[in-house]
Amino acid sequence: MELESAGNFQELLGIELIEVTGDRVVCTCEIKPQLHQPYGILHGGVYCSIVETAASVAAAMWLGDEGNVVGVVNTTNFIRAARVGTLTATATPLQRGRTQQLWQVEIIDSEGRLSAHGQVRLANLRQVDRLGQPSG
């Protein structure tokens, strides 16, 4: 399966995909001052975005051409603040089923310390023509 470029937001944050399979995704993100919050540390939303990206790419690769995946829950715990360096995120599956998947993501800093941990539950959408359409 080939994913269209997340284009856009992923590139804006500087997330680079290093390893991509349906069983594991590894990506990196360089911490830049533009990604800081007012106290000079990486904004929590960046961690959430890294978690969402890694889990979503992995889940999509696993589902393959059967449909698309969309995140329904993202829970990210911030463990260690970071100001500089490169973060590395690794997504691995906790559960993969017919209608949903659950992935965990660990983010480590340049020194190998855990910076954040997240889980993303994703829905497997097999009727992709309804993606983004109102229900009813």
- Quote the pLDDT of residue 126: 87
| Residue 132 counted as domain residue | no
**Whole-structure pTM value:** 0.90
As annotated, the active-site residues are 52
* pLDDT beyond 60 at 6: no
> Tokens standing for 74?
């993202």
| Residue 44 counted as domain residue | yes
DSSP at 130:
G
- 73 phi and psi angles, rounded to 5 deg: -145, 130
What value, to the nearest 5°, has the Cα angle with vertex 73 and ends 56 and 17?
Answer: 20
The boundaries of the domain holding residue 105 are 8-118
Query: How many structural domains is the chain composed of?
Result: 1
CA separation, residue 76 to residues 21, 50, 117, 125, 134 (Å): 22, 10, 6, 23, 28
- Structural element, H or E, at residue 53: helix 44-63
Query: 36-95: per-residue pLDDT in tens?
Result: 999 999 999 999 999 999 999 999 999 999 999 999 999 999 999 999 999 999 999 999
| Residue 25 counted as domain residue | yes
The CATH number assigned to the domain holding 63 equals: 3.10.129.10
| Residue 114 counted as domain residue | yes
Query: H helices within the chain, ranges in order?
Result: 8-13, 44-63
| Residue 47 counted as domain residue | yes
In which residue are the tokens 């089923």 written? 97
CA 73 from chain center: how many Å? 12
pLDDT bracket for residue 124 (50, 70, 90)? very high
Query: 11-43: per-residue pLDDT in tens?
Result: 999 999 999 999 999 999 999 999 999 999 999
| Residue 3 counted as domain residue | no
- Quote the pLDDT of residue 80: 97
| Residue 127 counted as domain residue | no
pLDDT bracket for residue 133 (50, 70, 90)? low
| Residue 31 counted as domain residue | yes
